[in-house]
Structure 1
């Protein structure tokens, strides 16, 4: 199991060739090792994923759960293998099917959900926040299991995330990218 070197710039090619027994993400050429999710993390992910999956059945958009690779190109790569941003969000909604291929999604999904853990909070709130905003992810959720809150960031007309809407376990989230989808957080945080 190789250890990432801080001075090295990693690419999608490294991601593809990384040993199967260790999951990684690459943000701005730097590797982040992924730890296995907790049981509570999996329960939250299951509930949110199920809500989206039931709603999207028979519709244009699709929902995917981790592990599902999302590649963000900067535009100066000569091939996909040179991409320096590859992440595995907990939940991804993609409405533009031309972005989907056998490896996952290339380009910005419409919605991303990240469920934090003590080891990922900073990465989710800073590195991934900036990455998703820069590449135009329309809606970004940060779920914090220990606090039972969800912060929802929506891309504004200036291509920046506005102030988040913050929901507690009694709240209901109106998903901005769909007209009539509401997620009841009582179901999500019922553990």
Structure 2
């Protein structure tokens, strides 16, 4: 049996993507199914993260906090960050500006993509903070973009992280999020 070549694989664009049913991501024209739906803990963490950020940014009119929104990077790459903080983006349909902060809750089915492929894309696209949440360990790994490369700030389980170099600076208390699961 002959191996598949890259030119044998289907190549999709945003025009294809918007016609599909279900949850998908598109990376360099390759479709990635996002099923089954995330487990309860994953969904709860996303909700708590969203709530904690919203409570910090209630006076900030420049930034939005979004859950599972399409980020159209280009016509062949559309990602759905679990939680994103986006500032000064006027597009009503999807994220069109690079988010300031992205949170991804890691699951066994997404770990390789979140820790590898998305890490690289977010770094290249200039996402200032990338936070990987590990629900089984109740720990967050925070990466900050410095001189075009991610630098690991640290691992947080009950500490507070300060996000200072964005349009609306805020502090995020990881203890508030994780204590519900201890």
TM-score by length of 1: 0.83
Given that 1:153 and 1:163 are in contact with CA atoms closer than 8 Å, whether structure 2 keeps it comes out as: yes
Within the alignment, does 1:124 sit opposite 2:132 as a pair? no
Match among 133, 146, 163 for residue 143 of structure 1: 133
Match among 79, 88, 107 for residue 80 of structure 2: 88
Deviations 1:65-121 (A, max 9, x none): 12x100112xxxxxxxxx111011111111122xx4232111311111111111001
Q: Which runs of 5+ in 1 are unaligned?
A: 74-82
Secondary structure (helix, strand or coil) at the match of 2:150 reads coil
Moved more, 57-66 or 127-136: 57-66
Within the alignment, does 1:112 sit opposite 2:102 as a pair? yes
TM-score by length of 2: 0.87
RMSD of equivalent CA atoms: 1.8
Secondary structure (helix, strand or coil) at the match of 2:65 reads strand
Given that 2:144 and 2:151 are in contact with CA atoms closer than 8 Å, whether structure 1 keeps it comes out as: yes
Q: Which runs of 5+ in 2 are unaligned?
A: 1-6
Deviations 1:141-172 (A, max 9, x none): 1111011111111110x21111342112x222
Deviations 1:31-55 (A, max 9, x none): 1111211111111111110111111
Aligned residues: 171
2:3: which partner in 1?
none
**Within-5 A mapping of 1:7-86:** 7-19=9-21, 22-35=22-35, 36-59=37-60, 60-66=62-68, 68-73=69-74, 83-86=75-78
Match among 129, 150, 156 for residue 161 of structure 1: 150
Taking a change above 3 Å as real, the CA distance of residues 43 and 137 of structure 1, as seen in their structure-2 partners, is same
